[in-house]
Amino acid sequence: VMCDQTMCIPGERLCSSEQYQAGRGTYVRHGSVFATLAGRVERRKESGDNLLLIHVQSVHSQQLVPEIGAIVICKITQLSSSYAKCKILSVRGSYLNTSFRGMIRKEDVRSTNRDKVEIYKSFRPGDVVVAKVLSLGDASCYLLSTAENELGVVIALSENGDAMIPLSHDQMQCPKSLIKENRKVARPQSDYLSF
């Protein structure tokens, strides 16, 4: 990452769009890249691209909304036989000021044996889940998926209220009572949880 100390303000012309690829916080108009935020200009080499990416890092709070394909962290709020509802708390590692409603449908819980999934054996209210945004869904909530090994429950409390330890891809155990509970457990990976 190359950081020069130049600051920019919304609407400022940064460079020609042939020199740099427009990243976050910028837009292209008439062949030039303009800033949309007030902040610091960063230029970065993206792997596989021969153009440098230019983006603006806001000095104030950054406003994010979940977008398709983004990794989100959410908390399960409500279960039913066909779906689990949740609150999206963070997007791409940035904490959101206000939560967004999300929903994980039964079909999207795991990638194998999709028709044998039981929501009650996958999640419990209060579980912290890493998921991926499938689509923006209908007007009421985002559709999320945990159908990858890296996605699923990362933090869960047992019935006694103790944080459980993952045993396998579908079980977690309470360290005190040694009771095993079923979950769709994630195999957390550093690039999925960048904190």
Partner 1 sequence: MAGMELVSDQGYRIDGRKPSELRRIRCNMGVFTQADGSAYIEQGNTKVLAAIYGPHEASNNMRNRVCLDRGFVNCEFSQATFSSAERKKRSRGDRKGRDISAHIKQTFEAAIRTSLYPRSQIDIYLQVLHSDGSLYCACVNAATLALIDAGIAMKDYVCACSASLTKGSSLIDINHVEELAGCAEFSASILPKLDQIIYSELNGRIHQDELGLLVDAVSTGCRDIFAVIDQFVRSRLAETASYFTHS
Work out how close the CB of 149 gets to partner 1 at its nearest, in angstroms, rounded to a whole number: 29
Is 97 a residue that touches partner 1 (CB under 8 A)?
Answer: yes
Half-sphere exposure of 10 (CA within 13 A, CB side): 3
The residue from 14, 20, 22, 25 that contacts partner 1 (CB under 8 A) is 25
Query: Judged by CB under 8 A, how many residues of this single chain contact partner 1?
Result: 32
Are the C-beta atoms of 153 and 125 separated by less than 8 Å?
no
Q: Is 27 in the site for partner 1 (CB under 8 A)?
A: yes
Nearer Cβ to partner 1 (3/165): 3
Quick one: which of 14, 20, 39, 153 contacts partner 1 (CB under 8 A)? Answer: 39
Spatial distance between the Cα atoms of 121 and 119, rounded to a whole number of angstroms: 5
> Should residue 34 be labelled a site residue for partner 1 when binding is judged by CB under 8 A?
yes
Q: Is 108 helix (H, G, I), strand (E, B) or coil?
A: helix
Binding of partner 1 by 2 (CB under 8 A): no
Q: How far apart are CA 190 and CA 192, in angstroms?
A: 5
Choosing from 136, 163, 167, 179, the residue that interacts with partner 1 (CB under 8 A) is: 136
Backbone angles phi, psi at 116, to 5 degrees: -100, 5
Are residues 10 and 29 in contact, defined by beta-carbon separation less than 8 angstroms? Answer: no
- Write down the least CB distance from residue 119 to partner 1, Å: 23
Site of interaction with partner 1 (CB under 8 A):
5, 7, 9-13, 25, 27, 29, 34, 36-40, 57-63, 65, 67, 97-101, 136, 139
